[in-house]
């Protein structure tokens, strides 16, 4: 009898382990938003500073355009998941030699995994369209790297694929008529077969911005930006009667239909790049802060709310936003240097509106930000902006008058910062309210000092402890409401995981009840 009880206990024990493993896998399969990290940046943060910044911003997935060893070291033990890349100029060597491929895996993967959570290897970038001469070597390079992963017993943990430009898909709308450029069939078919066999994603760089710019008058701007549309403005696929309310869903489905035309139906699309520039020259008037904010904010919501696509509502593609920082060293046009969510000094280019859609990015309207004068601006220009803020802008400038709390330091920059922040907070921290003709910037660091408390500060005066206690209570209540809101919004997404864990606990209890 005791032996049978022990056998039963062992059975239940392993059932619990299996169920917990399933629950963890379910959680890991949740769609996510990551960021691309380009390095054409003056005074780029050190690897340690970069990783600390990622952690502060709650960024959990990143893509590198190489396999920078210092960054990989800095990512160790952080649980931040990273895609590393083989630059295009290394494809020939790796595709021509299994030894070189094995050496690359040993140097850039085995040396860091699992302390640094490498999830995938992107082999080249848009090889078929930017360096077509390297197309014949792409599949051999991928297979050589995969063989090296197999030898290291890492092939189930780390996926291998290659990012493509959207232009490899021809006739993309309606999506049901889309197909891969047939001149690329000798590469695409074996690639898709490899991705299917290894459970790897089809990596696509998808930019509704360029679709809109190339099809103005046909594609509505609102459709590109995820803005609500009237039914008459929705794009309808005449073959499937599926309605498309945004451009990126149509682009993703075009890739799915293109794969289907090659009889591949079990490969998931991973969007390795997507974004919208915040600044452009006269030829790119739609590259501006408001559109960049709107696109990326709505993209994040779409992913974290499990938006799916009309063709595959059950599958939500994860997305890497292009990109983390504005790359000021990029060549013209102006937009090339202005795809970032942040400036090189880590101040946000704009405030994303993603509160309630998850915990991705501290750079959103749930966090306190301030508007201050930029460094290095001449006093005359600052004075003009200060005069406007305190005059037509109707900022509250009483605290920077002689004898008041924010009069010191008595200089234009200090007074301008206070006036700018007063205006910015009064306007509800909306996009464009911290500009002042380019002399102001947004910061997450409270500029209050001494007895000078800036308008947007969460600091409180010590006039009475009662006021302090009341404020703290209301802040705690607000935090509680935010947490409750987050739990409610994510409830459906986590239900499978929660149910599995609950079942695990039940299985763990039953044996003890039987034995006892």
Same domain, 184 and 272: yes
For residue 444, the enclosing domain spans 370-455
Spatial CA neighbour of 328 closest among 320, 340, 337, 336: 337
Is 466 part of any domain?
A: no
Counting as low any pLDDT under 70, the low residues of the chain are 1-28, 355-360, 362-368, 431, 444, 458-516
**Res 461: pLDDT:** 38
- Of 409, 427, 455, the residue at which a domain comes to its end is 455
Q: What is the mean pLDDT of the chain?
A: 83
Question: Which 8-state DSSP code applies to residue 124?
Answer: S
pLDDT at 496: 44
Give this prediction's pTM: 0.70
Same-domain status, 275 and 393: no
Number of domains in the chain: 2
CA distances from 278 to 325, 337, 352, 378, 456 (A): 12, 9, 12, 25, 25
The CATH number of whichever domain residue 236 belongs to comes to 3.20.20.80
Residue 30 a catalytic site member: no
Asked if 375 and 308 sit in the same domain, the reply is no
Question: What phi-psi label fits residue 356: left (phi over 0), alpha (psi between -120 and 50 degrees) or beta?
Answer: left
Mark whether 282 and 427 lie in a shared domain.
no
pLDDT of residue 149: 97
Catalytic residue among 143, 273, 404, 427: 273
Co-location of 305 and 393 in the same domain: no
For the CA atoms of 225, 226, 228, 229, the dihedral, rounded to the nearest 10 degrees, stands at 80
| Residues in CB range of 403: below 8 A, 6 or more apart | none
Element (H, E) at 28: helix 2-28
Residues 170 and 61 in one domain: yes
Catalytic residue among 49, 115, 126, 404: 126
Q: Are 404 and 334 in the same domain?
A: no
Distance CA 71, CA 406 (A): 41
d(Cα 14, Cα 4) in Å, to the nearest integer?
A: 16
Say what the pLDDT of residue 4 is: 53
Determine whether 273 is an active site residue.
yes
Q: Per the structure block, which two tokens stand in for 244?
A: 């498309």
Q: Is residue 78 part of a domain?
A: yes
The model's pLDDT over 224-269, given as tens digits with 9 standing for 90+, comes to 999 877 777 788 999 999 999 999 999 999 999 999 999 999 999 9
SS3 track for 153-213 = CCCCCCEEECCEEHHHEECCCCHHHCEECHHHHHHHHHHHHHHHHHCCCEEEECCHHHHHH
Domain match, 197 and 315 both = yes
Same-domain check for residues 281 and 385: no
Q: Is residue 247 part of a domain?
A: yes
- Listed in order, strand segments (DSSP E) in 200-263 are 202-205, 235-236, 243-244
């Amino acid at each position: 009898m005791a032996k049978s009880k022990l056998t039963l206990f062992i059975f239940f024990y392993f059932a619990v382990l299996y169920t917990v493993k399933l629950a963890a896998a379910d959680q890991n399969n949740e769609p996510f938003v990551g960021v691309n990290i380009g390095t054409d940046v003056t005074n780029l943060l050190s690897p340690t500073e970069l990783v600390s910044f990622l952690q502060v911003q709650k960024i959990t997935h990143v893509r590198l355009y190489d396999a920078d060893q210092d960054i990989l070291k800095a990512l160790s033990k952080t649980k931040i998941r990273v895609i590393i890349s083989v630059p295009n100029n290394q494809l020939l060597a790796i595709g021509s030699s299994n030894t070189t491929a094995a050496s690359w895996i040993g140097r850039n993967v085995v040396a860091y995994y699992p302390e640094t959570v490498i999830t995938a290897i992107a082999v080249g970038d848009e090889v078929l369209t930017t360096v077509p001469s390297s197309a014949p070597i792409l599949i051999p390079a991928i297979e050589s790297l995969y063989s090296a992963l197999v030898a290291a017993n890492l092939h189930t943990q780390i996926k291998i694929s290659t990012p493509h430009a959207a232009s490899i898909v021809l006739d993309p709308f309606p999506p049901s008529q889309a197909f891969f450029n047939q001149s690329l069939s000798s590469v695409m078919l074996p690639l898709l077969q490899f991705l299917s066999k290894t459970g790897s994603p089809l990596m696509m760089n998808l930019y509704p911005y360029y679709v809109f710019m190339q099809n103005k008058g046909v594609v509505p701007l609102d459709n590109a930006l995820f803005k609500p549309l009237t039914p008459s403005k929705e794009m309808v696929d005449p073959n499937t009667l599926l309605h498309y309310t945004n451009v990126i869903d149509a682009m993703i489905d075009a890739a799915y239909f293109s794969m289907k035309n090659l009889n591949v139906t079990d490969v998931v699309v991973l969007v390795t790049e997507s974004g919208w520039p915040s600044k452009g020259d006269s030829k790119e008037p739609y590259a501006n802060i408001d559109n960049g904010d709107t696109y990326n904010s709505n993209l994040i919501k779409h992913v974290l709310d499990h938006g799916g696509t009309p063709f595959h509502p059950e599958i939500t593609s994860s997305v890497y936003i292009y990109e983390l920082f504005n790359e000021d060293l990029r060549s013209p046009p102006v937009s090339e240097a202005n795809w970032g969510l942040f400036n090189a000094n880590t101040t946000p280019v704009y405030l994303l509106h993603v509160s309630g859609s998850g915990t991705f990015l501290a750079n959103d309207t749930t966090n306190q930000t301030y508007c201050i004068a930029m460094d290095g601006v001449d006093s005359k220009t600052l004075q003009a902006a200060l005069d406007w803020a305190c005059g037509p802008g109707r900022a509250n400038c009483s605290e920077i008058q002689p004898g008041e709390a924010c009069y010191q330091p008595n200089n234009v920059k200090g007074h301008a910062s206070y006036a700018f922040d007063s205006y910015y907070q009064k306007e509800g921290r909306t996009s464009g309210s911290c500009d002042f003709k380019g002399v102001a910037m947004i910061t997450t660091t409270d500029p209050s000092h001494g007895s000078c408390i800036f308008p947007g500060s969460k600091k409180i005066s010590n006039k009475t402890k009662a006021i302090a206690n009341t404020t703290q209570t209301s802040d705690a209540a607000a935090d509680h409401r935010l947490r409750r809101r987050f739990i409610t919004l994510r409830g459906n997404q986590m239900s499978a995981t929660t149910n599995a864990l609950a079942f695990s606990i039940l299985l763990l209890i039953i044996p003890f009840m039987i034995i006892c």
